[in-house]
A and B are shown apart, each in its own frame.
Chain A
Amino acid sequence: MSTRDGIAAATSTEALTTELPAGRSLGWWGMVMFVATEATLFACLIGSYFYLRFQHGGPWPPDGIAKPALLRPLMMTAVLLPSSIPVVWAERGIRRGQRWRLRTGLAATLVLGVTFLVLVATEYAETLREFTMTTNAYGSLFYVITGFHGFHVFVGLTMISWLLVASLRGGSFGAHRHDRVRNVAIYWHFVDVVWAAIVFSLYLTPRLS
């Protein structure tokens, strides 16, 4: 089909009036709206970070605090971002009724997520020696934003453990019932994406300027 035909087809009445979105479940919409409002919350926090940073002027981080080290956050990213893959794989599995895939996938994500939190803890152990939440606005921003995200990871992990327990019990999920798996997956992907935004704003941009 040529491009022209393609455009003609896509702009026909039939195509233009296609119902999109359609067929989503109630729970899906509920979770998507929840994630939307949470994402706005993170946007406000990261926006506050940039606002305070640019209003402050001068070197950033201020007061002689060293620029954030990159190695560990990159490791954390390498752990957290791929952790979405087993969730996707598990979800695809349960849609075909393969319970083993659900269980294995969730367990894998759980391990990755816990690793991430351990890395956060080791990072804090180091940075806390240099500055704390009460040192200055930079410290407040750093700990509140990363801490709030860490809390979200923790909540996500709780959800995943909860799914895992339910799926180990049996009689919970199958090809026709996997709404909850889907919803937790959405939440987990969201937590991942937020981390990417945080790495970019809090760790990378101070090195760019």
Chain B
Amino acid sequence: MSTTAAPTPGASREDLARLEEGWGERPSLRSWFSTVDHKRIGRRYLVTASLFFVLAGLSALAMRTQLARPESRLLSPQEYNQLFTMHGTAMIFLFATPMLFGFGNFLVPLMIGARDMAFPKLNAFGYWVFLFAGLFMWASLPFGAAPNAGWFAYVPLTDEGNTPGLHMDVYSLGLLFLGIATTAGSINFIVTALKLRAPGMSLNRVPLFVWAIVATAFMVIFALPALNADNALLFLDRRFGTHFFDPAHGGNALLWQHLFWIFGHPDVYIIVMPALGIVSAVLPAFTRRGVVGYALVVFAMASIAIISFGVWVHHMFATGLPQLSYGFFSAASTIITIPSGIQIFAWLATMLLGRLVLKVPLLFVIGFIVTFVLGGFTGTMFALTAFDQQVTDSYFVVAHFHYVLIGGAVFPILAAIYYWLPKITGRMYHEGLGRWAFWLFFTGMHVTFFPMHLYGLFGMPRRVYTYPNEPGWAGWNLVATAGSYVLAIGLLLVLIGVVHAVRRGRPAPPDPWGGDTLEWSTDSPPKPYNFPVLPQVHSLHPTWDETSRTSMTEGATDDRIMADGRRTLATSELDGRRERTVDMPESSLQPLLLALAMLVFFTSMLFGWYPVAIVAGLVVAATIAVWLWPTRRPEQELGVR
């Protein structure tokens, strides 16, 4: 696709040919299913997550259409319940995190100068699981069996007696299934960033985006088990008659809430953190300087990742526990705004001190700052227990979290789409179209969600399928609905822009923006092996610094070319000292097979076909056993006595 190749005097023609032979994949049906290339997997994550975004967005439009007028009867209450639950659940679990993991997948190996993720097959497996889990959940909607008790699924509403049917089983099993993908992806990110950084990339030279992904991955590792445990217990309660959440038999409904929010609060940051990493990655290119206060931004991310585990009780200010316990948590909830503020000020300082280049990605970054700061402002209002108890479960809350989530995730994601489109597709997008998309989206977003603050304060509760004509409600609801259509048109223009770029766009040079990180030092789109010569990194901004750049050209050495087979370099955890070469796996159908077996497992659990589930479990075990089976090697090589 690309016509302009990065100059590579470093690797000889033979080297390139051998690299191509080791890493290239001939397009075929089989290679489509068996690929382990992080770039293809990353692209798939992006496309699939966008698809789920469209589905969740259409659900939102249906709801907004219903709510345009009071006493409207377009949707039945049952339909409305399923729509808002699927909307919330899909936006959080099937769109935001996977989308950001998609960027992580595509970019982390490129940014740290590696040839793939640490565990490429696991990576492919993670994608298939994500896809299947998403389809598993959405497939329930046409049958009227979709989850219907809100995205946080509080018991006792969700126990078998109150919500019979498959609805909440789809929820608990679907999220457990999806959790496998998220956990696998996170482990992969951590190990990749720890071990595969290019030689010379000590911790103080790691791009902020990579720090953000790693911090996120750590949060997933320690937060997701709480959700998994919660869903497993819910499923057992519903299906097999246990009593974890059942007060009549010694259980306790609050247990669900505790476990859910031990996960849920970090999850807000799991969603927002990589998005903030995107902002830190986009800014240098459009301000022509590094982000101000690198170490402080790293500190901010680390502290958010840690403190976010200590604030879960603030979601339960309405539930009645000793004041002093709240005090401990309130302290953390208040302080956590400081590191977020530090990041915002670091970006503002970067923009003030740099030369602004007002291209579409930067527009979205600015849109992000405005929106996110407004959301953060209403957020600090919740830290006041008294206020929180007033507006809990009103539309004020809906307004707040859409400001945070759309500001903190969707704006950066859109910035990222425009920013990395040239790298991912090798084509440039149309600037004018992008600007239209930005302004429509930005306006639509504020017209939709700002009025919700108002009618929330006027007392309109959330999660109602329709409403009486109370003073101040109907008019503002109509405004919000109109806004949501403007917003949708903006998003449609984004889509058109991407399609237009892929079809008609100008070919992109390796470095269209003058970016600072390593992905801009290689072709657009990158070759399957990413870098003909792995770089030797000398600074935080390797693409801007001459010595790092020439290490890939004149300064190339054979031990960084490694043209035979599929190899990349492992380096030391903290200082990026060269340790050894590692062999990367070939493409394989095992990841797909494993994910399919798991799909069968979860589907049969859903319908209660337990013998089938057991067989599927055995297939899972067998596939893993074959996958990890050691290849036979001569005794000498092994070192046997």
Direct contact of A and B (CB under 8 A): yes
Residues of A within 8 A of B (CB): 19-26, 29-30, 33-34, 36-38, 40-41, 43-45, 48, 51-52, 55-56, 62-63, 96-99, 133-141, 144, 158, 162, 166, 169-177, 180
A-B contact pairs, 11 of them (CB 8 A): A29-B190, A29-B194, A40-B221, A98-B641, A135-B249, A140-B237, A140-B243, A144-B242, A172-B630, A175-B640, A177-B639
Given contacts A37-B221, A171-B638, A177-B638, contact A22 B195 (CB under 8 A): no
Return A176 CB to nearest CB of chain B, in Å. 4
Q: How far is the CA of A52 from the CA of B243 in the complex (A)?
A: 10
Q: How far is the CA of A64 from the CA of B640 in the complex (A)?
A: 59
Give the tally of cross-chain contacts (CB within 8 A): 165
Contact of A55 with B574 in the complex, beta carbons under 8 Å: no
Residues of chain B within 8 A of A24, CB atoms compared: 195, 573
Residues of chain B within 8 A of A172, CB atoms compared: 630, 632-633, 638
Contact of B572 with A22 in the complex, beta carbons under 8 Å: yes
Q: How far is the CA of A197 from the CA of B253 in the complex (A)?
A: 25
Q: How far is the CA of A166 from the CA of B632 in the complex (A)?
A: 9
Contact of B183 with A137 in the complex, beta carbons under 8 Å: no
Main DSSP-derived SS at the B contact region = helix
Residues of chain A within 8 A of B228, CB atoms compared: 41
Contact of A26 with B191 in the complex, beta carbons under 8 Å: yes
Contact of A36 with B638 in the complex, beta carbons under 8 Å: no
Q: Can you list, as one digit per residue, whether each of B92-124 has a CB less than 8 Å from chain A (1) or not (0)?
A: 000000000000000000000000001100000
Contact of A22 with B251 in the complex, beta carbons under 8 Å: no
Q: Can you list, as one digit per residue, whether each of B610-637 has a CB less than 8 Å from chain A (1) or not (0)?
A: 0000000000010001001110111101
Contact of A171 among B221, B621, B635 (CB under 8 A): B635
Of residues 215 to 248 in B, which have CB atoms within 8 Å of A's CB atoms?
Answer: 221-222, 224-226, 228-230, 233, 236-237, 240-244, 246
Residues of chain A within 8 A of B118, CB atoms compared: 26, 29-30
Q: Is B21 an interface residue (CB 8 A)?
A: no
Return A89 CB to nearest CB of chain B, in Å. 16
Contact of B229 among A23, A45, A55 (CB under 8 A): A45
Q: How far is the CA of A52 from the CA of B251 in the complex (A)?
A: 6
Q: How far is the CA of A184 from the CA of B579 in the complex (A)?
A: 23
Contact of A174 with B233 in the complex, beta carbons under 8 Å: no
Contact of A136 among B229, B249, B575 (CB under 8 A): B249
Q: Knowing that A21-B574, A26-B119 touch, tell me 5 more A-B residue pairs with CB under 8 angstroms.
A: A40-B226, A136-B249, A136-B250, A166-B629, A175-B640
Q: Is B577 an interface residue (CB 8 A)?
A: yes
Contact of A23 with B579 in the complex, beta carbons under 8 Å: yes
Q: Is B259 an interface residue (CB 8 A)?
A: yes
Q: Is B255 an interface residue (CB 8 A)?
A: yes
Contact of B225 with A40 in the complex, beta carbons under 8 Å: yes
Return A143 CB to nearest CB of chain B, in Å. 8
Q: Is B582 an interface residue (CB 8 A)?
A: yes
- Which chain A residue has the least Cβ–Cβ distance from B187? A33
Contact of A22 with B574 in the complex, beta carbons under 8 Å: yes
Q: How far is the CA of A164 from the CA of B194 in the complex (A)?
A: 31
- Which chain B residue has the least Cβ–Cβ distance from A183? B628
Return B605 CB to nearest CB of chain A, in Å. 15
- Which chain A residue has the least Cβ–Cβ distance from B632? A171
Residues of chain B within 8 A of A177, CB atoms compared: 630, 633, 637-639
Residues of chain B within 8 A of A19, CB atoms compared: 572-575, 577
Residues of chain A within 8 A of B289, CB atoms compared: none
Return A167 CB to nearest CB of chain B, in Å. 9
Q: How far is the CA of A169 from the CA of B258 in the complex (A)?
A: 49
Q: How far is the CA of A199 from the CA of B641 in the complex (A)?
A: 41
Q: How far is the CA of A37 from the CA of B634 in the complex (A)?
A: 36
Given contacts A26-B118, A144-B242, contact A137 B250 (CB under 8 A): yes
Contact of B222 with A36 in the complex, beta carbons under 8 Å: yes
Given contacts A133-B240, A174-B639, A177-B633, contact A29 B222 (CB under 8 A): no
Contact of B224 among A37, A138, A139, A144 (CB under 8 A): A37
Return B27 CB to nearest CB of chain A, in Å. 29
Contact of A44 with B229 in the complex, beta carbons under 8 Å: yes
- Which chain B residue has the least Cβ–Cβ distance from A172? B630
Residues of chain B within 8 A of A41, CB atoms compared: 225, 228-229
Contact of A33 with B190 in the complex, beta carbons under 8 Å: yes
